Structure 1
Amino acid sequence: MLGALRDQPADKILTLMQTFAQDPRADKIDLGVGVYRDAAGATPIMRAVKEAERQWWEEETTKSYLGLVGDPGFADAMTELVLGDAVGREQVAAAGTPGGTGAVRQAFELIRMANPRARVHVPDPTWPNHLSILAHLGIEAVPYRYFYDATGGVDADGMLTDLACVPRGDVVLLHGCCHNPTGADLNPAEWRAVVDTLNRTGATPMIDIAYQGFGDGLDADAAGARMIAGRCAETLIAASCSKNFGIYRERTGILLAVAQESRLRAVAQDNLAHLNRQNYSFPPDHGARLVTKVLGDAMLRAEWQAELERMRRSMLGLRAQLAEELRRLSGSDRFGFVAQHRGMFTLLGLSPAQVARLREEHGVYMLGDSRINVAGLSERTVPVLARAVVEVSG
């Protein structure tokens, strides 16, 4: 049987990480992998999370199973964090998942169960794993216009034109904030236009929100998701705790299914439990427990929010520094969009050949589409990157 298997395509990010690790240059720069790093290049454990972990270590009395959808307290805390008061808790079905990726996978599985013929319309570009999971599940992915290369911003007119053609029964995938890989986000007016378009066509929205708090703040970053959940008949939301709580290896995520009809909410909850049972039975609890403790304790929550805000402002500062350095060295504002983007990622608009030169000649590692992780920079390395980019881009 094993002899019938075929080699799978190498993951581009993991391949880049391996190549970077083998590079002997001491001044090399890793802008590929999507993790937050501080000025020293470390990915620290947040202080509030560390304290929650200490408290839970003293309190925990059993490692027995929880329910199929995980701890109800985690579901309540995450529903409040993501949705605020946009909808009532009684309208939300929820299931804990192994990370945000697990939530995305379960959402796609739920879509396929509900409508085997459904297509998922994805922004062009989108996180590559969206496309990989859809292909693995045999669900057709249909791109819609999103990013305008010439300006480094959202192609709102093209996006709305494409979304207006999505039929009822299909799903529209949206990034809640800090779009990966471009960093270009919808503004409030564009979110409203998306809601109006979805309500006209009857298409179902699905929101992947993996970076809440990294863009313009916790509430501002969730504004689009809250608008859609409050105004559309049904909404799927895949949320991750990896970035904003810094618990990458704990694999902590949640899938929310919002339904205006309470009857449909109950059906969705039953199906989320069924899907968890088929895939991994019970979701991981440790990371979920830490998140619940942080969000449920006023002092821990305040400390977490303060640290998250410092991380957000650090990335904004690095963006501003990089945009200014590129402007100074290039004598133009062609990279001004870097300061306007939000979150960890930005597409620099370089060709694969230019990206290869950055790697080979300057030891600067990024994906072939020129996506960089801004959080991989520091005040010291920003000028190094800017000089290299200007050199290879002419």
Structure 2
Amino acid sequence: MHFTAIARVPGDPILGLLEAYAQDPNPHKFDLGVGVYKDAQGLTPILRSVKLAEQKLVDGQPSKSYIGGHGDLRFGSLLCELVMGTDSPLIAERRVGATQTPGGTGALRLSADFIAQCLPGRGIWLSDPTWPIHETIFNAAGLKISHYPYVGADNRLNVDGMLAALEQAPKGDVVLLHACCHNPTGFDLSHAEWQRVLEVVRRRELLPLIDFAYQGFGDGVEEDAWAVRLFAQELPEVLITSSCSKNFGLYRERTGALLVCSADAEKLLDVRSQLAAVARNLWSNPPDHGAAVVLTILGDAQLKSLWAEEVEAMRARIAQLRSGLVAALKPHGLAERFAHIGVQRGMFSYTGLSPAQVQRLRDDYSVYMVSSGRANVAGIDATRLDALAEAIAAVCK
């Protein structure tokens, strides 16, 4: 038999959490595991701007034919403006371009295969910790993976350790950086710290690959792009993976892009030709519906304004949940211990809870989060912050 020696791969632990949560009969359970935004009703809604854009597409889209290896060029152009800023000199000088991908994950895989095929011998540096799929994507592409420390044992940013590690990186290696809303920790670099990272990247001649999955969920759509724009302005070459899953709520539509910043327009064309060739062997043409939705929104002043309001509402709600949880922990004498939750950004928080405490939360209080202590803050029910705080306090005794 041909398949006899094939073993079963263990299930994704986060998806396993989702299954366990679904089977838990406790009506007061908490789902803080899976990384999707949830509203006050516990739902992951379709944005109003998205629904209006979809209706326009239903009424006016003329064809479902292929769109080409780079996807819809109009989508790419508008996404470049969203990421880089409408007044970016890179756009004016045609030194930045976007290749449409199946979500941010597709952009990461495209970048991994591009590096492996066109920049052979380059290793890649990932933060410790990072999103687990970063490891599997770059490992699958055959890249040598190294790590730089990001959070210390005290559950605080370890910027000095990060910089010391990157100082040891071989010249020409790739360094993956989280633009904002670091996954899984929620700890973001300050502007001054980004400047320090930039200097090391420049001195070591590293190629930055910036993962930009949460634009708008940290401090705002424009504010979250600060580091991306800094690196694009100060360095000759930058790769950026952009995702529309969270900020447009297009999770299963698989909408994203790989942006390339180059020193000159001609070299950008060379790189983009290689990306199209790599993409041809991965997915040929990217899925169009989500990109068409984003294009419709960003190309319509009223829809874009509505979308911006909706993103800001999601961002503000997450920030309120963070401060609310810290306040709810105060009567238990835990506000200082968990103060970091209030200063972290985005959907995720490295709570500092141990695997044993996480397991007890699940077993005794039906609170589901990843064993590392990463919690999806956006999954918290705002009306039950006190109950969650009581559960956390109980396992911290």
TM-score by length of 2: 0.97
Unaligned regions of 5+ residues in structure 1, if any?
Answer: none
Across the two proteins, how many residue pairs are aligned to each other? 393
Q: 1:132 aligns with which of 130, 136, 147?
A: 136
Contact residue 86 and residue 229 of structure 1 kept, 8 A: no
| Separation (CA, whole Å) in 1 of partners of 2:181 and 2:335 | 25
Is 1:236 equivalent to 2:256 in the alignment? no
Aligned to 1:283: 286
Give secondary structure in 2 for the equivalent of 1:306: helix
Aligned to 2:63: 62
* Residue-by-residue CA offset, 1:160-218 (whole Å, 9 max, x unaligned): 11111212221000001000000000110111111111110001000001000000001
| Separation (CA, whole Å) in 2 of partners of 1:321 and 1:313 | 12
* Residue-by-residue CA offset, 1:202-255 (whole Å, 9 max, x unaligned): 010000010000000011111011111111121111110000000111110100
| Separation (CA, whole Å) in 2 of partners of 1:237 and 1:34 | 21
Aligned to 2:162: 159
| Separation (CA, whole Å) in 2 of partners of 1:61 and 1:263 | 33
Aligned to 1:266: 269
- Pairwise mapping of residues 1-394 of structure 1 onto structure 2 (< 5 A)? 1-84=2-85, 85-89=87-91, 90-150=94-154, 152-394=155-397
| Separation (CA, whole Å) in 1 of partners of 2:265 and 2:41 | 49
Give secondary structure in 2 for the equivalent of 1:88: helix
Give secondary structure in 1 for the equivalent of 2:382: coil
* Residue-by-residue CA offset, 1:332-361 (whole Å, 9 max, x unaligned): 501000000000000111111110000000
| Separation (CA, whole Å) in 1 of partners of 2:303 and 2:98 | 24
Give secondary structure in 1 for the equivalent of 2:222: helix
Contact residue 86 and residue 227 of structure 1 kept, 8 A: no
Give secondary structure in 2 for the equivalent of 1:3: coil
Contact residue 149 and residue 349 of structure 1 kept, 8 A: no
* Distance apart, 1:87 and its partner CA: 4.1
* Residue-by-residue CA offset, 1:40-82 (whole Å, 9 max, x unaligned): 0011111111101001111111111111110001000110111
Give secondary structure in 1 for the equivalent of 2:240: strand
| Separation (CA, whole Å) in 1 of partners of 2:139 and 2:5 | 20
| Separation (CA, whole Å) in 1 of partners of 2:256 and 2:270 | 21
* Distance apart, 1:331 and its partner CA: 4.8
Contact residue 358 and residue 369 of structure 2 kept, 8 A: yes
| Separation (CA, whole Å) in 2 of partners of 1:328 and 1:94 | 50
| Separation (CA, whole Å) in 2 of partners of 1:26 and 1:63 | 44
Contact residue 209 and residue 238 of structure 1 kept, 8 A: yes
Cα RMSD of the aligned pairs, angstroms, is: 1.2
